[in-house]
Amino acid sequence: MFKKILVANRGEIAMRIIRACRELDIATVAIYSEADSTGIYVKKADEAYLVGPGAVQGFLDGEQIVNLARRVGADAIHPGYGFLAENAQFAHLCQISGIIFIGPSSQAIRLLGNKVKARELAKQVDVPIVPGTDGSVSGMEDALAFCRQAGYPVMIKTCAGGGGRGLRVVRSDQDLWDSMESSSREALSAFGDGSLFLEQYIERPHHIEFQILADRHGNVIHLGERDCSIQRRHQKLIEIAPSLILTPRLRAEMAEAAIAIARAVHYDNAGTVEFLLDQQGQYYFIEMNPRIQVEHTVTEQITAIDLVRSQISIAAGLPVEVSQDEVTLQGHAIQCRINAEDPRNNFAPATGTITAYLSPGGIGVRIDGAVYKDYIVPSFYDALLAKLTVRGRTWDEAVSRMHRSLEEFVLRGVKTTIPFMRKIMTEPDFRAGRFDTSYLETHPEVFKYDDDVEPEDLVLAISAAIAAYEGL
Ligand code: ADP
Ligand code: ADP
Ligand code: MG
């Protein structure tokens, strides 16, 4: 087993990795920017080093990070998600520098990093893909030809894509050109690759993804699925496990498809195979993410399998600890992303100082947090402050537990998604498990929530009421 791991990330996922290392008795090395020097993970790691320049560049400078790992005697690097997690060149650099990259091989990352190649691979192993262009589109004629044949709406996607970037729904010839241009521009600046492809737009699908664990001994297992249909701008907000709509037969079939794809790329480590499931019950592969995902917590809560611990032991060359038969799904889990953003203002990111923080607790409640009172939320990173995950014996219990936990959660000083999430937990369709990727568009009422009332305001209101009463 490793003696020391460098955590090439920040925020809640850095904390998550440090926790797994503590339990495995592995020392940890954190990296941080000046903007992030007050992060909890910096304090919790055994060693921490300032990397620059700027707030983001240091987390992306693979060479600097590998050199640091060698200098401080780390045997492995965990990339978390985002930053270098899906960078094949970085995985390769680790490999040739004698540092273990905690993730799949650079070849698997390279192949899966290109959605067009991943689609071809899925096709080869007979996994259904969304009808779309064969390969990337080279120009307007190509694109128009596909739209004529498939019919609108279509979805523009970026070959190198991720994090919802560059996705555009197009409903007419007139929109096609502008959307392709803006999508390509966005992809070029985000991924350094502006190439695009087109898919038929599936109306109101469910986003269903399977968690895979694979090792270097040929074992590939799945840990069931997550439904991540509640999204904004094609980015996930609430994730659940298991899905409320899969039949055991469909679950088995989709799991088999997910495993076939993992096997086809000789995948090892933890990964996620994403599908869309349409209203008719047909599923389509969309992509495989070769990394730990934000929403891995819901799978952990219903399987009791520690995915980050598994990533580390697989990277150390050990076989997956459990067999497929030993994986059981128990109860229902829900994760809410507690973001520093304002849902009512188009989810605009919020920054500021956290003036009060008290996390919820009690039975079935899990917090993966990264903030505390007086922490200043930097503006340079994604808006995730904490992940609140609950588990219940039944779906109904899980929803009530999430609602209760969101009520307990005190996080003040910046706008967060807490009051919005609380409203969703009381919305009848959500409570009944009726939701797909159109949920937020089709339920505008969830944006009409009461803002959190500051306790000070409450005290003032009560004293005013008492004064008024006594004055009578
Ligand atoms: P990313 O790499 O940005 O995560 P994905 O391909 O995984 O992109 O898609 C993200 C989300 O966009 C999906 O969960 C789904 O809501 C929506 N989406 C993607 N492809 C389609 C499609 N063909 N039809 C309808 N919605 C889609
Ligand atoms: P998940 O699939 O785990 O839900 P998200 O889409 O929420 O992940 O992305 C998690 C983080 O990783 C975000 O900061 C996102 O911008 C980043 N990210 C996702 N895909 C990529 C990618 N292909 N390249 C770089 N960063 C990415
Ligand atoms: Mg995706």
Average of pLDDT values for 104-126? 98
pLDDT tier at 456 (50, 70, 90 boundaries)?
A: low
Query: Which residue has the CA at smallest separation from atom 23 of ligand 2?
Result: 162
**What's the CA gap between 160 and 302, in Å, rounded?**
32
Pocket test for ligand 1, best of 234, 274, 440 (most atoms within 8 A of CB): 234
Q: What is the pLDDT of residue 461?
A: 75
Cα–Cα distance measured from residue 361 to residue 358, given in angstroms and rounded to the nearest whole number: 10
Three-state DSSP at 131 gives coil
The mean pLDDT value for 93-118 works out to 98
Give the pLDDT score at 455.
60
For residue 80, the one-letter residue type is: G
Residue 395 CB–ligand 2 contact under 6 Å = no
The pLDDT-based confidence of 21 (bands split at 50, 70, 90) is very high
Digit-coded pLDDT (tens) for 385-440:
999 999 999 999 999 999 999 999 999 999 999 999 999 999 999 999 999 999 99
Strands 47-50 and 27-32: parallel
| One-letter amino acid for residue 418 of the chain | I
Instruction: Determine the straight-line distance between the first and last CA of the chain, rounded to whole angstroms.
Output: 74
Beta bridge partners of 206: 277
For the segment 196-209, the average pLDDT, to the nearest whole number, is 98
Which run of H or E residues covers position 342?
Answer: strand 341-342
Report, as an integer, the average pLDDT of 62-90: 98
Long-range contacts made by residues 115-120, C-beta under 8 angstroms, separation at least 24? Answer: 115/157, 115/158, 115/159, 115/160, 115/161, 115/197, 115/286, 115/287, 116/159, 116/195, 116/197, 118/261, 118/285, 118/287, 118/288, 119/197, 119/285
Which pLDDT belongs to residue 457?
66
In the three-class reduction of DSSP (H, G, I as helix; E, B as strand; rest coil), residue 269 is classed as strand
Q: Residue 154's pLDDT band (boundaries 50, 70, 90)? A: very high
Query: How far, in Å, from the CA of 459 to the mean position of ligand 3?
Result: 45
What integer pLDDT is reported at residue 472 of this predicted model?
58
Model confidence at 444, in pLDDT bands (50, 70, 90)?
A: very high
Task: For domain 131-200, say whether CATH 3.30.1490.20 is its number.
Answer: yes
> Across the chain, what does the average pLDDT equal?
96
| Residue appearing with tokens 């009520």 | 407
Across residues 237-246, what is the average pLDDT? 98
pLDDT class for 217, splitting at 50, 70, 90?
very high
pTM: 0.96
Q: Render pLDDT for 312-371 as a digit per residue (tens, 0 to 9).
A: 999 999 999 999 999 999 999 999 999 999 999 999 999 999 999 999 999 999 999 989
Percentage of the chain beyond pLDDT 70 is: 98
pLDDT of residue 192: 93
Domain residue ranges of the chain, discontinuous segments joined by +: 4-102, 131-200, 206-447
Class for the domain spanning 206-447: alpha beta
Q: CB of 293 closer than 6 A to ligand 2? A: yes
Sign of the alpha-carbon torsion through 157, 447, 375, 13? negative
Q: How many whole angstroms separate alpha carbon 113 and alpha carbon 311?
A: 19
Contacts of 409 (CB under 8 A, 6+ apart): 338, 358, 359, 360, 388, 418
What CATH code is assigned to 4-102? 3.40.50.20
Q: Based on the residue annotation, tell me whether 291 is a catalytic residue of this protein.
A: yes
Residue 104: closest CA among 310, 309, 271: 271
